[in-house]
Amino acid sequence: MNFNIISINNWARKPYFEHYTKSVPCTFSITAEIDITLLLAELKRQGLKLYPAFIYMITTVVNRHEQFRTCYNAEGELGFWDWMSPGFTIFHEENKTFSSIWAPFDAEFPVFYKGCLAQMEAFKHEKTLFPDPSEPPNTFPVSCIPWINFTAFNLNVASEGAYLLPIFTIGKYAARGDRICLPLSVQLHHAVCDGYHAGLLFQELQALADGCPDWLEIR
């Protein structure tokens, strides 16, 4: 993994970055529904789980766009990762707590899916918040609230504007007539992302859901 330092003075986004980190520190959240009717049918046909498949979809889109991989490194330098892996939550039914774990991303869905399930299995009994000390710095957070079909969700991150990566929250899917839709909320920092980028995110997630037969097959 490589972290690419951004030269702010030569960066086209410099005025936006400075405005939304200094003058008007600003994050924003957008919640929209993804039509997963075909995706669910394909997952059911193959006996696969929705959560790791949707994490794969999110990570695929994140890795397409530099804006979603822009952040500060451990030295406080601004830059972007060549690619990122997902950090995601798993729920412990026994004591109603959760843990945040991660899985290495692979563009080949079968490889990622099997690795994701292996991580879930490895840490399913580890009831601490961050049980895996090997998580690398090039991860971003995904969580799931499968009990609520929400129409909006907002996080309040008290980081003084220093946290720039997207934060994803998946909700409970529900029927909309003959369609099945899944709410997804993403919190973005306006210093690195605008509404245009949020629009791309949801459009490309919908395209992946609609085109799932092309990438989902596990042989």
Which residues are tagged catalytic?
Answer: 190
Contact 205, 181 (CB under 8 A): no
Distance CA(62)–CA(177), nearest Å, equals: 30
Could you tell me the end-to-end alpha-carbon distance of the chain, in angstroms, rounded to an integer? 29
DSSP for 90-117, written as a single string: EEETTTTEEEEEE----SSHHHHHHHHH
Distance CA(167)–CA(155), nearest Å, equals: 9
Cα-trace Rg, the chain: 18
| Residue corresponding to tokens 């009831």 | 127
Query: How many C-alpha atoms does 209 have within 13 Å on its Cβ side?
Result: 23
Query: Which residue in 169, 87, 100 sits closest to 129, CA to CA?
Result: 100
